[in-house]
Structure 1
Amino acid sequence: MEHILEDVRRDILPGLTHWQSPRFFAFFPMNASSAGLAGEMLSVGLNVVPFVWAASPAAAELESVVVDWMARLFGLPRRFLFYSGGGGVLQGSTCEAVVCTLAAARDRALGRLGGHEAIARLVVYASDQTHATFQKGARLVGIPPSNFRVIRTSAASGYGLTAEAVRAAVDHDVGLGLVPLYLCATVGTTGLGAVDHVRELGEEARRHGMWVHLDAAYAGSAAICPDFQDYLDGAELADSVSMNPHKWFLTNMDCCCLWVARPRDLTSALSTDPEYLKNVGADDDGAGKAPAAIDYKDWQISMTRRFRAIKLWVILRRYGAAGMRAHIRRHVAAAKWFEQRVAADERFEVVVPRRFSLVCFRLAPRSGRDDDATNHVNRDLLAAVNASGRAFMTHFVVDGKFVIRLAVGGASTELQHVMEVWDLLQGKAAEVLQHYVKPNGL
């Protein structure tokens, strides 16, 4: 083993992008922590496979307890809790959660429409800021690509999806004889951190019996703080909600919470019941309470599964609500500091107002109008920062603008690291701008 580990140090580590660095500001950081590592070691070391109740009763029970804890912490409506007839499951990723909910929505709709041949009429709706996972998931469950509607957003709505835009698209499709199936509302989009108008979208979806999924993969963690829970207003109108503790909740990859208001919709689409997997002595009282035996294989794509619940349980026990709120607020405060510095520097501009811990900015066009040169300057600036090895960020493009993203969220990231990256940006900006200076500006 010592030779293998030496090879890892020599050959593997130099070629990695170090996601746990406090100077990692790209994508949305995948948090690791000492408690998360301890939970991961327990999960891996015990190596149980809680796909049916009898396979590991305590593991299945712990999962149902943990997802209810999480729902309460985030202020989710009671309808997503087990004791109220809903329930939750720990998936590996949002992509898995999306495929499962799309399958549930599909089968529920096809049951009403009288057969699988009606699948060609089903339509899925999302915005141009929605994660591409939803387009991939729609294809995987058999929705024709031509029936996926990408609805434009604008700066006027903060790049959030509006009910008016959805209504126009849905009414047009209904006029063509199509069937609205599924609508995604996002709190904290990947590119810009935008927030959709959840309540308005939920009310619009109810007109046509659409399944509403609330995707809070990144920003859902912020809802542990009461001052951020307003972003989830209208969640009671959703059929499902998902968020990823492995993004901003100190939980090692992989862990995605998925809650559904009606578990039977999910299990009807995903369940299998071969004789060799039947539980012995399982009992479901059917009274809308948490069942005595939960077969989580029927809540996900694969049959087998990891013991993720113990990892999240250790996180919650170790840091508690107060500790997690402090973790979130530290990052939000650092992002706010960075946003203020960007706004105060006449060379830069904040592209969209910051809501959580993601700041989207760029070098502003000197000529007062956007052109290709402005995008080239910002591309060069991002490349120079990343090439320095002192920070790592990514970009997004909105309305033709090349935008630099600084996502604060690393487990060890402090204000000091954000201050250092601002100093780095200022220096690199001065170097890059020297190459583009012309008598009349850019």
Structure 2
Amino acid sequence: MNTEEFRIRGKEMVDYICEFVDSLPDKRVTPNVEPGYLSKLLPDHAPHDPEPWEAIMADVESKIIPGMTHWQHPRFHAYFPSGNCYPSILGDMLSDGLGCIGFSWVASPACTELETIVLDWFGKAIGLPKHFLTLEEGSKGGGVMQGSASECILVVMLAARANAIKRLKNQHPNVDDAVLLSKLIAYCSKEAHSSVEKAAMISFVKMRVLQPDEKASLRGETLKRAMEEDEEAGRVPFFVSTTLGTTSCCSFDAIEEIGRVCRRFPAVWMHVDAAYAGSSFICPELKPLLAGIEYADSFNTNPNKWLLTNFDCSTLWVRDRFLLTSSLVVDPLYLQHMHDSKTIDYRHWGVALSRRFRSLKLWFVLRSYGISGLQEYIRCHCRLAKYFESLVLKDGRFDVTNDVKMGLVCFRLRGTEGQTENEINELNKKLLTNINGSGKLHMVPASVHDKYIIRFCVAAPNPTQEDMDYAWDIITEFATELLEITDKNAELANMSDALIKKRKDTLAYKRSFFVRMVSDPKIYNPAIVKSAPPVQQRPVERERQMSQTAPSTNNNSSWISWPLAFFFQSTDHDNGSNASDLAIRFRHLDTMVRLKNPSQGRRGSGSPSPERDASRSPRGLSPTMYRKHNASPTKN
């Protein structure tokens, strides 16, 4: 591609980007593809020969765009905003066109110096103390751009670690550095970003995660107790990471309390991570949330989240830049230059050596919008978040679970009466899954105090109240559908439980009825009693009164229960009596049945059973009765 074709293609690309941005509302916010979809559409090797530009762009449209999650979509409410605007895009375009690698001042003086100036501009707008600004008289601090907040936290933890080991080495010069390293311990809240824990893993230091209060805020007293416990155990506190605007629910740690605690311990580095909320402090009404920043040793925020500047653009300020750079300096001869003693070389401020000209896009944004324009942008997000909160609060089925101070609203379905916390969590999980699966909205969950919540972030560059209404309509529509299904399932489950219980109860009753019928202790045949323990006299007397035909027994007889089949087939052959009528009383039925001896004929008018005459048909006999029936001699 030569210059002339680039002019053409560049203009076409600008048009393509504009059309793409304008058409976003008509697209799904999330793609409808499965993992591995792209490998099936593209060749497994790079082309050997050049391909026409038209073919490349056709593949972008047919293969790449369908697999995109659209972070600038008005229905995108996940994570935090991904800043973007046309001045920022043009700034990145110019940076890429200039193609400089600004790792040192001499490598590109303008790249280095513009970064220093822009960081001072932004730091002043936020309201940072003067000791964080590079160009302030007497300041040892300064600002630098990193690729992400994760990088910011990592480099300041490395600096804090190096400073702590140096101090311990002065106190214990004969102790190995590895032993000293094993004593170090860092602290953060349970609500801190996962990058803090990852930084501790990379730095090979212990990390103690502390429980926040009911508002998800880390308090000074909690930190103080933990640090005192660790000191008593022989560990050395060296780093505390705090958060202003946590990822899960945009809560704010009590950095003023924490700062006072950190000052009581020697050489503890206090960092403030304000990746999302930090940009909002350009608004005077939000500056009180920054109270306590004077205690901090470092502070970071991301313009690529909430200041309309596209990724990557994360800003970091430190109180003492020499503590930072001394822990990261590697200075080979080929990187040295004659001005390094009086200039800033940003290669010493981070992990990477090579650096893009990132300050251009932030410079473009600050100048194109001005502080007043950026303040209005942030206020718009905050205002719409409060409006969305009001919609949630009007619906009694939902709870708002965070203190809405910025552009994030956390909410959840309350669930129905009698549901457990796990069941309510599952209910909200189903709701979010259904909404995201539709492609109409995109949100993500979080867990705060072990409760599953749904995060709704105002994220689009130009959001409107209509976008909030639309989002709430979608949420309530899916919630209504889910609750109706849940209620029906619960009703069916209750009915099913009731039917099962009824069947069990009925079966149990029938079994009990039969057992009592065939095992009534008042039913006995004295003829087969060989030996019996003594029984009370009164039941025997009552039985004799009610059944005059029942054979008598001595007072030492006991009641013996036998299956009815025995009584239906039994005879009195043992005592040789022909008068073998047996009277059976069913105590629970208030019924008496007189059984006839089989020798007197099976087809008599009396029925041996209160329900049916089982002897009339072999089908009506139990297996025992059936066998005895077939074994009986033929009657005359």
Cα RMSD after superposing both structures:
1.5
Q: Does 2:352 align with 1:302?
A: yes
- Does 1:116 find its partner at 2:177? yes
Is the alpha carbon distance of 1:181 and 1:282 closer, same or farther for their aligned partners in structure 2, counting shifts above 3 Å?
closer
Residue 412 (structure 1) shift: 2.6
In structure 2, distance between residues paired with 1:364 and 1:440: 21
Report whether the alignment pairs 1:196 with 2:267: no
Q: Which residue of 1 aligns with 2:428?
A: 378
User: Is 2:209 aligned against 1:150?
Assistant: yes
CA distance in 1, matches of 2:398, 2:492: 18
Which residues in structure 2 correspond to 1:313-392 (within 5 Å)? 313-367=363-417, 370-392=420-442
Structure 2 CA distance for partners of 1:440 and 1:402, relative to 1, 3 Å: farther
Pairing 1:225–2:277 present: no
8 Å contact kept, 2:304–2:312: yes
Unaligned runs of 5+ in 1: 285-292
Q: Counterpart of 1:435 in 2: which secondary structure?
A: helix
2:120 matched residue in structure 1: 68
Q: CA deviation at 1:439?
A: 5.1
Amino acid in structure 2 at the alignment position of 1:234? G
Selected match of 1:100 from 134, 147, 155: 155
The question of whether the paired residues in 1 share the 8 Å contact of 2:140 and 2:322 is answered with no
SS at match of 2:106: helix
Q: 1:41-440 to 2 correspondence within 5 Å?
A: 41-82=93-134, 83=136, 84-114=139-169, 116-117=177-178, 118-143=180-205, 147-155=206-214, 158-209=215-266, 210-284=268-342, 293-367=343-417, 370-437=420-487, 438=490
Give the corresponding residue for 1:290. none
The answer to which of 384-393 and 303-312 deviates more is 384-393
The answer to whether the 8 Å contact 1:159/1:195 transfers is yes
Q: Output the CA distance in 1 between the equivalents of 2:397 and 2:339.
A: 69
For the 8 Å contact 1:21–1:412, the answer to whether it is kept is: no
Deviation at 1:194, TM superposition (A): 0.6
**Contact 2:248–2:446 (8 Å) recurs in 1:** yes
Retained in 1: the 8 A contact 2:216–2:448? no
Matched residue count: 429
Q: How far apart are 1:410 and its partner, in Å?
A: 1.9
Counterpart residue type for residue 14 of structure 1: P
Q: Could you say what secondary structure the match of 1:212 adopts?
A: strand
Once residues 261 and 415 of structure 2 are traced to their aligned partners in structure 1, the CA distance between those partners, rounded to angstroms, is 39
Question: Paired residue for 1:40, among 92, 99, 107?
Answer: 92
Deviation, structure 1 residue 45: 1.1
Q: Which secondary structure state, in structure 2, belongs to the residue aligned with residue 165 of structure 1?
A: helix
Q: CA deviation at 1:169?
A: 0.7
Alpha-carbon contact 2:213-2:219 (below 8 Å) kept: no
| Identity score, percent | 40
Change (3 A) 1:366 1:101: same
Alignment deviations for residues 81-123 of structure 1 (CA, whole Å, 9 cap, x no partner)? 1122210000000111111101100011111100622010000
Taking the aligned partners of 1:152 and 1:171, their CA distance within structure 2 comes to: 16
SS at match of 1:383: helix
Per-residue deviation, residues 190-233 of structure 1 (Å, max 9, x unmatched): 00101000111011011113100000000111101011111111
Decide which moves more: 402-411 or 273-282.
Answer: 273-282
Question: Which of 44, 63, 76 is residue 11 of structure 1 equivalent to?
Answer: 63
Runs (5+) with no aligned partner, structure 2? 1-52, 170-175, 495-636
- CA drift at 1:398: 1.8
**Higher RCO by CA contacts (8 Å cutoff, separation 6 or greater):** 1
Separation of aligned partners in 2, 1:390 and 1:427: 12
Deviation at 1:341, TM superposition (A): 1.0
Question: Cα offset for 1:399?
Answer: 2.2
Residue 403 of structure 1, CA deviation: 0.2
Range moving further from structure 2, 426-435 or 413-422: 413-422
8 Å contact 2:72–2:459 — kept in the other structure? no
Pick the structure with greater CA Rg. 2
8 Å contact kept, 1:396–1:404:
yes
After superposition, give the CA deviation of every residue in 1:2-53 in whole Å (9 maximum; x if it has no partner): 1111111111111111111111100112111111101111111111111011
**1:366 & 1:28 partners in 2: Cα distance?**
31
Letter in 2 for 1:112: R
Q: What do the CA deviations read for 1:132-177 (whole angstroms, capped 9, x no partner)?
A: 101100111221xxx210101132xx11000111011111100011
Instruction: Specify whether residues 104 and 427 from structure 1 end up closer, same or farther in structure 2 by C-alpha distance, changes over 3 A only.
Output: same
Give 1:440 deviation, angstroms.
12
Which residue of the partner structure matches residue 544 of structure 2? Answer: none
Report the TM-score when normalising by structure 2: 0.66
